[in-house]
Amino acid sequence: MKSKLCRRLPACMLAMACWATSARSFAQDVESKPLAVSPAAIVDSPVSQSLLPTLREQIPGNAVVWYGQVYAEQQALMGQSELWSSIREMIELPANDLAKSHPQFAWLGSSPVDSGVFGSLQKAARSRHCDWQLLYPGEPFFEILLPEVQRSRSYARLIALRIKYQIAEQRFGDAIESLQLGFALAKHVAQGDTLVCTLVALGIEDMMADCLFDWVQQPAAPNLAWALAELPDPLVDLRPGLDAEKIGLESTYPLFAQARRIVQHRFGSDDAPRDSDAPRDTVPSSREYLQHWGVVEWSMEQWSDALRDFWDRSDLFGGQNNRSRPALGLLVLEAYPKAKANLVRAGYPASQVEAFSVAQTIALQSYDAHQRRIQNLVRWAYQPTAVALAGLENQPSGDAMAAPVLPIDDMLGNSIQEAVRRQARIQRKIAVLRLIEAMRDHAASHAGQPPASIDAIEALPIPSDPATGTPFQYDSDGSTIRIATRRDPSPQLTFQPIELVIQSEGDQ
pLDDT tens for 262-321 read: 888 764 444 444 444 545 454 455 555 555 545 668 999 999 999 999 998 876 544 446
Beta-bridged to residue 129, according to DSSP, are 62
> Quick one: which of 253, 247, 287 has its CA closest to 267?
287
Q: How confident is the model at residue 402 (pLDDT cuts 50, 70, 90)?
A: confident
Q: Give yes or no for residue 505 having a pLDDT over 70.
A: no
Mean pLDDT for all residues in the chain: 84
CB 168 within 8 A of CB 102: no
Residue type for position 203: G
Q: Give yes or no for residue 21 having a pLDDT over 50.
A: no
Helix, strand counts (H, E) of the chain: 22, 6
Q: Torsions phi, psi of 483, nearest 5?
A: -110, 125
**Cα gap 188→66, rounded to integer Å:** 12
Q: Give yes or no for residue 205 having a pLDDT over 80.
A: yes
> Quick one: which of 286, 277, 257, 420 has its CA closest to 348?
286
Q: Give yes or no for residue 29 having a pLDDT over 70.
A: no
CB 21 within 8 A of CB 13: no
Least confident span in 37-51, 52-66, 222-236, 363-377:
37-51
**Cα gap 289→295, rounded to integer Å:** 8
**Cα gap 202→225, rounded to integer Å:** 22
Average pLDDT over residues 82-101: 93
Q: Is the dihedral of CA 232, 238, 243, 248 positive or negative?
A: positive
pLDDT digits (tens, 9 = 90+) for 76-87: 777 788 888 899
> Quick one: which of 69, 48, 205, 211 has its CA closest to 127?
69
> Quick one: which of 241, 245, 260, 252 has its CA closest to 366?
260
CB 434 within 8 A of CB 225: yes
Average pLDDT over residues 453-461: 90
Express as a percent the part of the chain with pLDDT over 90: 59
Beta-bridged to residue 37, according to DSSP, are 502
Q: Give yes or no for residue 16 having a pLDDT over 60.
A: no
CB-based contacts of 103, cutoff 8 Å, min separation 6 = none
In terms of pLDDT, which residue wins out, 271 or 144?
Answer: 144
Residue-level pLDDT at 28: 47
Residue-level pLDDT at 6: 38
CB 72 within 8 A of CB 200: no
Average pLDDT over residues 238-244: 92
Q: In what order do the strands lie in the sheet with 498-502?
A: 33-37, 498-502, 480-484, 473-476
